[in-house]
Amino acid sequence: MTPTFIGMIIAAIGLFLLFRAPAHHLLALVILCMLLGGSAAIQLPALGGSSVPPAYFALGFLVLRCLLPGTHMLGRWQEAFRSQWPFLLFTLYGVIGAIFLPRMFEGAMQVPALRPSEGTSGLFDTETLRPVSSNITTAVYLIGTCFMALTAQVSVRTMDQAKSISRTFLWAAWIHLILGVGLTLLSGTALADIILLLRNANYAQLSQQYGDFVRISGIFPEPSSWAEMMFSLFLFSSGLVIIGLYRNISIMTTALCGAALLFSTSSSAYLGLVAYFALLFAKLLFDSRKRGSKIFHFIVPAGIAGLAIILAVALLSPRFTNNFVDMVLAMTVDKGASSSALQRNFWSQKALEAFGVSFGLGVGPGSLRSSSLIAAVAGSMGVFGIVSLLATCGAMMRMFVQAPRNDAAALAKVAAGTGLIALVPSLVLAPSPNPGLFFATCLGLAASLRRQSLARSIGRRIPGDADRRLVGAR
């Protein structure tokens, strides 16, 4: 186990916040560390060259802060366990399955390895199903994701704290945008090489280029993972626009994030945008006329302005427009016949084959690589994993569709909706059944805000606060 310079910096900040700041400040640190997608806080050469991502390392300090004696957080943990029991079952089955299922079905089939062995570089390489080190690392990541959801609920107990976390998401969007676009514009310069020292994880660090265009990847391993994070932050900022929280900065953030996604040439980002605008259109149809008209007052001028910019660029630089359109077509429409698409389709088929071979039990998280969250859950965790994850998403869907009764409920809708729609790119990207830290953060934040909304509606303080006193009639 070897700490990196990134890990030492996070450790210094985490130790300071651990004893000098409220818990939601450490939650903000974890959110900002999610932007270091291609970085490692700790290298683990004994586990096949695995590494601990910065966000999971920072999460350790958040968990410690929420477990410190004398913080009166026991009631909050109990409440979080009750409200997130489907995700707890999902995690528990995943951890147990990672230990026992590869041994139960050892040798039953050939699987594409989550972490391929040295010397395997073919598109359709497979290995015999057996217990591997990635079973352990995937189980640990699942536990971390579960703790992320729990501590997000435990650490955010007031509306002011929830607004602080919302501002953190906006800051994260700007940082992610600046790093991504800035490194693309500075590609090949000494400054870019210095910043790219942050990409120190043992991943295949891909900086893809098409013709004269350098695709945006920032300090993430590849453009698609950068676009996935950008899409998630775009969702949260657009949700803040809809509920009117930090309206001016949210509108600017949403517009710039949306533009970055359009220029990302990521097929998964485009899939997410299609899903988002389809749901937004449905919302406009079912919302009240008054609420819908206010949203139209923002969307219609923004759409006209965006169309005008596109036409201006096409007229002023036809060559740039043609080259960009060719690149978009190559990364989307023509991608279906590419080697990458064939490989991802093969991975998904093997995951579904594992579902059948294991009689619906799964072959264990970390046993195989997939290219879809649904296929990964089915192949790794079977029927139980699918049902428990759907139950988790169902609870978030209920929070998303309910009419908001106050500002806490409105922000809960934003968090729940963001977490759900942010899973769309995972449908064509996720290699493992782990839904990720961003989803878990939204799950915990939505659960906390829902509890705050219910407490406000009956006029009392939330159970689990330090003094536990009622402040109004039941």
- Residue 386 above 60 pLDDT? yes
Q: What is the pLDDT of residue 299?
A: 59
Each residue of 410-455: pLDDT tens digit?
899 999 999 999 999 888 888 899 999 999 999 999 999 988 877 7
469 pLDDT tier (thresholds 50, 70, 90) = very low
Q: What is the mean pLDDT of residues 278-291?
A: 66
User: Could you write out the three-class secondary structure of 394-444?
Assistant: HHHHHHHHCCCCCHHHHHHHHHHHHHHHCCCHHHHCCCCCCCCHHHHHHHH
223 pLDDT tier (thresholds 50, 70, 90) = confident
Rounded distance between C-alpha atoms, residue 310 and residue 317, angstroms: 11
Please name the residues in contact with 281: beta carbons below 8 A apart, sequence gap of 6 or more.
Answer: none
Each residue of 149-158: pLDDT tens digit?
999 999 998 8
458 pLDDT tier (thresholds 50, 70, 90) = low
Q: What is the pLDDT of residue 473?
A: 30
> Which of 463, 437, 380, 391 minimizes the C-alpha distance to 111?
380
- Residue 471 above 50 pLDDT? no
Helix (H) or strand (E) holding 51: strand 50-52
- Higher-pLDDT residue of 291 and 133 is 133
* pTM for this model (two decimals): 0.85
- Higher-pLDDT residue of 82 and 115 is 82
* Least confident among 59-63, 86-90, 94-98, 288-292: 288-292
**CA geometry: angle at 189 spanning 188 and 194, to 5°?**
105
Residues in the chain: 474
- Residue 387 above 60 pLDDT? yes
Proportion of the chain above pLDDT 70, given as a percent: 78
Each residue of 347-365: pLDDT tens digit?
888 999 999 999 999 999 9
328 pLDDT tier (thresholds 50, 70, 90) = low
* Least confident among 7-11, 280-284, 388-392: 280-284
* Least confident among 56-60, 206-210, 469-473: 469-473
Helix (H) or strand (E) holding 123: none
Which own/partner contact pairs does 457-464 have at CB distance under 8 Å and 24+ positions apart? Answer: 457/405, 457/406, 462/157, 463/75, 463/79, 464/72, 464/73, 464/74, 464/75, 464/76, 464/78, 464/79, 464/157
Using DSSP's 3-state secondary structure scheme, residue 318 falls into helix
Each residue of 93-120: pLDDT tens digit?
999 999 999 999 998 899 988 877 665 6
